[in-house]
């Protein structure tokens, strides 16, 4: 597990270490989660890593925007622990793809 207090460091860590899964908040200092996701999707080293949004923005329009932007799942706060664990398990299971899961936590 690696953690970063801001998007720039998170991007550097993802690029250098190529994690199996990225949890990304939408509201980050210096760069929002959409910008960070866009960067991850442009790099060959990170474009296939599933990125799960984790945010307090639970409005239907925001969920739709997040999934359209390329987040593999859109999880909202407060975290529903079983849904959160299921989302992580979905993407850490061998053979899982970035399309796995149902999108938004419900």
**pLDDT tens, per residue, the chain with 106 residues:** 999 999 999 999 999 999 999 999 999 888 999 999 999 999 999 999 999 999 999 899 999 999 999 999 999 999 999 999 999 999 998 765 545 444 555 3
Say what the pLDDT of residue 106 is: 39
Give CA separation, 72 vs 21, 61, 85, 96, in Å.
Answer: 10, 16, 14, 11
Q: Which residues pair with 78 in a beta bridge?
A: none
User: What pTM does this model have?
Assistant: 0.85
């Amino acid at each position: 597990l690696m953690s970063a207090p801001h998007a720039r460091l998170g991007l550097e860590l993802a690029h250098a270490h190529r994690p199996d899964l990225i949890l990304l908040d939408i509201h980050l200092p210096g760069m929002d989660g959409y910008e960070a996701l866009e960067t991850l999707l442009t790099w060959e080293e990170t474009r296939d890593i599933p990125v799960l949004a984790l945010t307090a923005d639970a409005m239907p329009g925001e969920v739709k925007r997040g999934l359209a932007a390329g987040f593999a799942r859109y999880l909202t706060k407060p975290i529903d622990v079983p849904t959160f664990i299921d989302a992580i398990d979905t993407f850490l299971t061998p053979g899982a793809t970035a399309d796995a899961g149902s999108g938004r936590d419900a």
